[in-house]
Amino acid sequence: MYTLRDVTKRYTRGKKTVHALAGVDLTIEDGGRLVIQGPTGGGKSTLLQMLGGLDRPTSGSVELDGVDLAKLSEARLTTVRAQNIGFVFQSFNLIPTLTAQENVETALVPLGGKAAERRRRAAEALDSVGLGERLGHLPGEMSGGQQQRVAIARALVKQPKVLLADEPTGNLDESMRDEVMEVLETMWKEHGLTFIMVTHDSAIARRAPRLATIRKGKVTITENAAA
Ligand SMILES: Nc1ncnc2c1ncn2[C@@H]1O[C@H](COP(=O)(O)OP(=O)(O)OP(=O)(O)O)[C@@H](O)[C@H]1O
Ligand SMILES: [Mg+2]
């Protein structure tokens, strides 16, 4: 479970200071799903970076299961990320010279273990996102939707507690968007993940049972019991 208390993030460039997060209090239950929306520059990606331990807040605490990510050493933070947190970004961030299977395996390298075991788990993860037939394909040989499914397999192969997605369908056309959303929903349900997703898609936001809207670094939560 996430507990954020009075989280702020300031960026300073020369004389100008941006308050990207201006005092965020938020709890996210294990296995919960939170959709984040809001205007550009509102702080959505910044919040996701705090949740993922990719960056530290200027002040406040970001607890994951009682451990404050803001206070962890760089080495401990790297371990927490490698074990517990999967990321999916708008740009798929696959390595173009590696096959689908090799791309997925990269997520397991920091966890140690045998190469054969990594290959087996990567194949299994790709199979679970419907790409069992594409293990040997390079990113350039796949559609955008397929590439994003490889990225989802890479995020989930380590069986993380948390999946963070920053506009995962932002670079996709409508049909591929549905395909990727379906995979994400299935993974959330099947794996009991805590799933936090930034989206600009108002249809997705409308359907969200719990919606966080961020404007000027402030979060407002809307619960939608009907969704
Ligand atoms: N590394 C950085 N250095 C300086 N300012 C930054 C940095 N990262 C973000 N900002 C600023 O912080 C604010 C919040 O940015 P953030 O990327 O979180 O917005 P966002 O809601 O994700 O926007 P978008 O919808 O465009 O992705 C913006 O004003 C942005 O310019
Ligand atoms: Mg963003």
Q: For 155-165, what is each residue's pLDDT tens digit?
A: 999 999 999 99
User: How much is the average pLDDT of 167-193?
Assistant: 91
Q: Please tell me what DSSP assigns to residue 1.
A: -
pLDDT confidence band for 207 (50 / 70 / 90): confident
Instruction: State how far the alpha carbon of 45 is from the alpha carbons of 106, 153, 169, 211, in Å.
Output: 24, 21, 15, 15
Ligand 1, CB cutoff 6 Å, lining residues: 11, 13, 18, 20, 38, 40-46
Per-residue model confidence (pLDDT) at position 215: 96
pLDDT confidence band for 204 (50 / 70 / 90): confident
Alpha carbon of 11 to ligand 2 centroid (Å): 15
Predicted confidence (pLDDT) at residue 223 exceeds the cutoff of 80: yes
For the whole model, what pTM was predicted?
Answer: 0.94
Atom of ligand 1 nearest to the CA of 214: 21
Alpha-helix residue ranges (DSSP H) falling in the chain: 44-51, 74-84, 100-105, 115-128, 144-156, 174-191, 202-207
Per-residue model confidence (pLDDT) at position 133: 96
Mutate to test the pocket of ligand 1, among 8, 11, 202 (most ligand atoms within 8 A of CB): 11
On the 0-12 / 13-18 / 19+ scale of CB atoms within 10 A, 1 is: middle
Alpha carbon of 221 to ligand 1 centroid (Å): 20
CB of 36 within 8 A of CB of 196?
A: yes
Instruction: Give the pLDDT confidence of 14-57 residue by residue, as tens digits.
Output: 999 999 999 999 999 999 999 999 999 999 999 999 999 999 99
Least confident of 5-9, 65-69, 110-114, 137-141: 110-114
- In percent, the amount of the chain with pLDDT more than 90 equals 86
Atom of ligand 1 nearest to the CA of 13: 4
Alpha carbon of 47 to ligand 1 centroid (Å): 10
- Phi, psi for residue 198 in degrees, rounded to 5: -90, 135
Per-residue model confidence (pLDDT) at position 202: 86
Q: In which region does residue 167 sit, left (phi positive, over 0), alpha (psi from -120 to 50) or beta (all else)?
A: left
Nearest CA to ligand 1 atom 17: 45
* HSE-CB for 162 with a 13 A CA cutoff: 24
Instruction: Give the pLDDT confidence of 64-94 residue by residue, as tens digits.
Output: 999 999 999 999 999 999 999 999 999 999 9
Token reading at 128 = 């679970």
